[in-house]
Amino acid sequence: MSSNIGAVKVEISVVLGSSTIPMHQLLRMGRGAVIELDARQDDPVTILANDKPVAKGEIVIHGDKIGVSVIDVLKGYQ
């Protein structure tokens, strides 16, 4: 029996920061509302694979595209 690991799909997410706000404030937000995060612009981001942290990265902007550059792979994923 052979397996093709290249066919496995993984959902990748990037966490820029977090915030805690009361539910009533969230419900009142409309288009254009800004939620302040607990991170600065140059802070590393957390890269998640299927909701599990696997690496740290930094935001990279190329023209109108936004990407993430991996700067550190977390232990257990190297």
For every residue of 3-65, DSSP letters joined together read --GGG----EEEE-------HHHHHH--TT-----SS-TTSPEEEEETTEEEEEEEEEEETTE
The model carries a pTM of: 0.75
Residue-wise pLDDT tens digits, 13-48: 999 999 999 999 999 999 999 999 999 888 999 999
Give the model's pLDDT for residue 45. Answer: 96
Q: What is the dihedral of CA 25, 29, 32, 34, to 10 degrees?
A: 20
Give the model's pLDDT for residue 4. Answer: 77
Residue-wise pLDDT tens digits, 49-60: 999 999 999 999
Domain 5-73 has CATH 2.60.120.10: no
Q: How confident is the model at residue 7 (pLDDT cuts 50, 70, 90)?
A: confident
